Amino acid sequence: MAASMGASRLHMRGNGQLLKCFQRILTPSQRRAGTNAAACQPLTDHQDAGKSFLALQEERRERAERSVLISCPSKTTEKKVLKFLSKYGAVNNCFFYDSYGTCAVIEFASRDGICSLHEAASLPSIQHEASVPFKTRLLALKSTGVDQSDGAASLKLHPQTSLPVNELIQRLAAEESIDQQLHSLTSILELTNENIALRFLVCSLLQDIAGAFFPECAIRLFGSTVNGFGKLGCDLDLFLDLDTISGRSMKRPSGLSLEYQMKRVASERTVTQSVLSVLGEGLEQFAPGCVGVQKILNARCPLVRFSHQPSGFQCDLTANNRVAMKSSELLWLLSRLDERVRCLVFVVRCWARVHGLTSSIPGAWISNFSLSMLVVFFLQTRSTPILPTLDQLRDLASPADKCVIEGNDCTIVSDLSKIQLEANTESLETLLQEFFEFYSTFAFNRMSINIKKGKQLHKPKRQCYIRAPVEDCASTNVNATQLERLVALCRESAWLLAHGGAIARHRRHRAGKAPGARAWQPPGSGPVGGRRGGGRRKKKARRGGDQACGRSTSRRLPARGAAERAALRDPSAEPRADHSPGNSVAA
């Protein structure tokens, strides 16, 4: 897919018949065929239905607090592990995965199971080195004596990384329409229930460590882990919630009252920096599994970045990031309203990644978050809108939903059933094509994207200006060059989607295949050079591109050589986070 998407080469069509968008939405259980339901029963989307964002997070959090992460001997069986652990408490759910050896996530029925495990566990016996005596819920199951069982045969491992590109392409090539490809892409890349459970467990383990310094704090997840747009391999965005401590300040009664004596520092930012600095040190020195700790404290949003080795997650820990948490809730809500939202966001993020429009390294490029905003805005502005505006979501909110963060009214309705959607039946293929058309003619130089109102508005002099859900703006970091690339690639991709079907039919004809036969357009054989042929759509797009960047970009359309095209199509050629699996479409 990544290769084919290198130039939006999704132009395989089956029999010219496009399936209607909701004809074949796979249920979660269908999508995750192969899950060992007997051993692992994570929450399904069906069970989640009707729950609010916060209720769902709280439920997952509570389950994580009853869970442990255990590395297992290389040859063992699920039965053996469960039999051993069940001695300490009833096991509700478990699953196994591979990360530097076999690991298991074990969810006990109650926290008593964990207490019993802790009582039974011994300190590691190591020679020539010493261990830091910091006990956590990261344990190792050791086997004494020779285990004759054939572990590989009886242990089902749940993959925690995305498919290698070649396999992904094969899977997508087997689909019969672009709509099906887009659904398939989403279901292949999206976070599995097991991966989400592992993410909440890592968050919970980190909270135990932070709790050693700030006993009443909480660590919460935000970003794509919880906003519905997470892909296997995406980073783990965490924030340390100190409001649970400072929120305690009460009105003083008349007469005597008590208050804590606390150190005073210059500003809230200084508090954040010193708290994160101490936590970073704690993670580095004491926390098993946390490696490569970097303290990035002078950033606009100070953070500690590290790798959690047993899970393979790249973690970004910030502090008091309530705004980002609310943005995550908003995106989650929107992702729940219509299946097409997720599919479009997934494909646009994937498309941007393989084109090098996004990167895991901070810089002047557009972020995945902003791309999601572009999709949201596009869907708000269809002639029959697919998504409501934020103002509409605010108007539906109940008093309990009221939320003001740093002086911004961030209120949105939490009860999804209150949202009435209009009947838009556009196919995903149409939407994707129109998305590219829309942004290839969007006047980024003059207009801002306002998802609160679902309108384009005149803007200050910045290259890209998206009014983020709960903040003033996002994407002001995107420079002119990146914006031009975005516009040019949208134009190219719109063209390819429009003409792909005809080209595929022509190829089938030349290959002597029946006109209706399904054919996969091999990567690199698309009409990259062919677009110079022009046509009405191209002229329109070029006019739009000129508008969008305030000057002619048509001559800047990349006249790429084969090597460059190949590099663009290969996500591993893009800058990537260390933890990303080498040959997969990572976040």
Interface of this chain with ligand GTP, residues 267 to 306, rule: CB under 6 A:
none
Residue with Cβ nearer ligand GTP (325 or 541) = 325
Query: What strands, in cross-sheet order, belong to the sheet with 447-450?
Result: 455-458, 447-450, 466-467
**3-state DSSP assignment of residue 315:** strand
The interface partner of residue 327, options being Mg ion, ligand GTP, none and the CB cut-off 5 to 8 Å by kind, is: ligand GTP
Tokens of 197: 């459970």
Interface of this chain with ligand GTP, residues 344 to 383, rule: CB under 6 A:
367-370
Residue with Cβ nearer Mg ion (224 or 411) = 224
Work out how close the CB of 439 gets to ligand GTP at its nearest, in angstroms, rounded to a whole number: 17
The interface partner of residue 471, options being ligand GTP, Mg ion, none and the CB cut-off 5 to 8 Å by kind, is: ligand GTP
Which residue in 29, 31, 46, 21 sits closest to 344, CA to CA?
A: 21
* Angle, CA 483 vertex, CA 478 and CA 485 arms, to 5°: 130
Q: Are 347 and 432 in contact (CB under 8 A)?
A: yes
Work out how close the CB of 331 gets to ligand GTP at its nearest, in angstroms, rounded to a whole number: 7
Give 83-87 contacts, CB < 8 A, sequence gap 24+.
84/141, 85/113, 85/117
Q: Please work out the total of residues on this chain that contact ligand GTP, with binding judged by CB under 6 A.
A: 20
Work out how close the CB of 220 gets to Mg ion at its nearest, in angstroms, rounded to a whole number: 13
The per-residue DSSP string of 498-535 comes to HHHHHHHHHHHHHTT--TT------TT-SSTTGGGG--
- Phi/psi for 23 (5° steps) reads -70, -35
Which residue in 322, 318, 268 sits closest to 296, CA to CA?
A: 318
Work out how close the CB of 230 gets to Mg ion at its nearest, in angstroms, rounded to a whole number: 8
**How far is residue 184 from each of residues 79, 172, 179, 577, measured CA to CA in Å?**
33, 7, 9, 25
Which residue in 528, 416, 585, 431 sits closest to 53, CA to CA?
A: 416
Q: Are 44 and 29 in contact (CB under 8 A)?
A: yes
Work out how close the CB of 329 gets to Mg ion at its nearest, in angstroms, rounded to a whole number: 15
The interface partner of residue 42, options being Mg ion, ligand GTP, none and the CB cut-off 5 to 8 Å by kind, is: none
Which residue in 560, 564, 567, 435 sits closest to 491, CA to CA?
A: 435
Work out how close the CB of 453 gets to ligand GTP at its nearest, in angstroms, rounded to a whole number: 17
Tokens of 442: 């969007």
Work out how close the CB of 316 gets to Mg ion at its nearest, in angstroms, rounded to a whole number: 7
Residue with Cβ nearer ligand GTP (327 or 427) = 327
Q: Residues 246, 248, 250, 255: is their CA dihedral positive or negative?
A: negative
The interface partner of residue 324, options being Mg ion, ligand GTP, none and the CB cut-off 5 to 8 Å by kind, is: ligand GTP
- Please tell me what DSSP assigns to residue 250: -
Work out how close the CB of 467 gets to ligand GTP at its nearest, in angstroms, rounded to a whole number: 10
Interface of this chain with ligand GTP, residues 450 to 469, rule: CB under 6 A:
468
Determine, following the binding rule CB under 6 A, whether residue 237 of this chain makes contact with ligand GTP: yes
Q: Are 396 and 419 in contact (CB under 8 A)?
A: yes
Q: Judge residue 311's burial from the number of C-beta atoms within 10 Å of its C-beta, 0-12 exposed, 13-18 middle, 19 or more buried.
A: buried
Which residue in 8, 3, 175, 17 sits closest to 505, CA to CA?
A: 17
> What type of residue sits at position 21?
C
The interface partner of residue 99, options being Mg ion, ligand GTP, none and the CB cut-off 5 to 8 Å by kind, is: none
The total of other beta-carbon atoms located within 10 Å of residue 432's CB is: 26
Which one among 223, 233, 302, 388 touches Mg ion, defined by CB under 5 A?
223
Determine, following the binding rule CB under 5 A, whether residue 224 of this chain makes contact with Mg ion: yes
Stretch near Mg ion under the rule CB under 5 A, chosen from 37-45, 223-231, 275-283, 537-545: 223-231
Which one among 179, 235, 329, 429 touches Mg ion, defined by CB under 5 A?
235
Number of residue whose CB is nearest Mg ion: 223
Stretch near Mg ion under the rule CB under 5 A, chosen from 177-185, 220-228, 477-485, 572-580: 220-228
Interface pattern 326-365 for Mg ion (x via CB under 5 A): ----------------------------------------
Residue with Cβ nearer ligand GTP (222 or 378) = 222
Calpha distance 218→227 (Å, rounded):
19
Which one among 474, 489, 497, 548 touches ligand GTP, defined by CB under 6 A?
474
Interface of this chain with ligand GTP, residues 207 to 236, rule: CB under 6 A:
222-224, 227, 230, 234-235
Any idea which residue has 């996500």 for tokens? 571
Interface of this chain with ligand GTP, residues 125 to 184, rule: CB under 6 A:
none
Determine, following the binding rule CB under 6 A, whether residue 324 of this chain makes contact with ligand GTP: yes
Calpha distance 234→358 (Å, rounded):
13
Any idea which residue has 């009707």 for tokens? 50
Work out how close the CB of 236 gets to ligand GTP at its nearest, in angstroms, rounded to a whole number: 9
Interface pattern 523-542 for ligand GTP (x via CB under 6 A): --------------------
Tokens of 21: 């968008």
Residue with Cβ nearer ligand GTP (177 or 186) = 186
Determine, following the binding rule CB under 6 A, whether residue 327 of this chain makes contact with ligand GTP: yes
Number of residue whose CB is nearest ligand GTP: 223
**3-state DSSP assignment of residue 273:** helix
Residue with Cβ nearer ligand GTP (78 or 329) = 329
Residue with Cβ nearer ligand GTP (364 or 559) = 364
Residue with Cβ nearer ligand GTP (35 or 162) = 162
Stretch near ligand GTP under the rule CB under 6 A, chosen from 52-60, 162-170, 321-329, 525-533: 321-329
**How far is residue 278 from each of residues 149, 213, 271, 293, 563, measured CA to CA in Å?**
45, 8, 11, 12, 47
**3-state DSSP assignment of residue 400:** helix
The site for ligand GTP (CB under 6 A) is made up of: 222-224, 227, 230, 234-235, 237, 324, 327-328, 367-370, 468, 471, 474-475, 587
The site for Mg ion (CB under 5 A) is made up of: 223-224, 235, 237
